[in-house]
Amino acid sequence: RFERAEIDLDALPVSDSTGAPTTLAGLLDETYTDGLLVLKDGKIAYERYFNGMAERTLHLSQSMAKSVTASVFGILVGRGLIDPARPVTAYLPELGATGWAGASVQHVLDMTTG
């Protein structure tokens, strides 16, 4: 569980997809967003749910998971904790006898493993 240090961002001025000014709350409503969580300094700064969603509601993430995963890997690469040129099996040796053998971390991130 994350600690909370909530900030009311509902009135935050943002632009919609056409560039017109709106608020964050307005944008979330206009885009049929189901939920938004903002972490700042390891604490929940903003958390809102819509359309019947709640904190523990399971939600199909589809391709959004790829963006989150790539962002996390970008942080790890930036900190020198993972090398995208190394084989996946350097980090997950149990994949050595699978179709992942020979694939680099970069191949996986680029979704070009075959």
DSSP bridge pairs for 48: 36
**Coil, strand or helix at 5:** coil
Contact 35, 49 (CB under 8 A): yes
Q: 3-state class of 13 per DSSP?
A: strand
Contacts of 29-32 with C-beta under 8 Å, sequence gap 24+, read none
Q: Which of 17, 63, 71, 104 is catalytic?
A: 63
Residue 17 appears among annotated catalytic residues: no
Q: Which of the residues are catalytic? A: 63
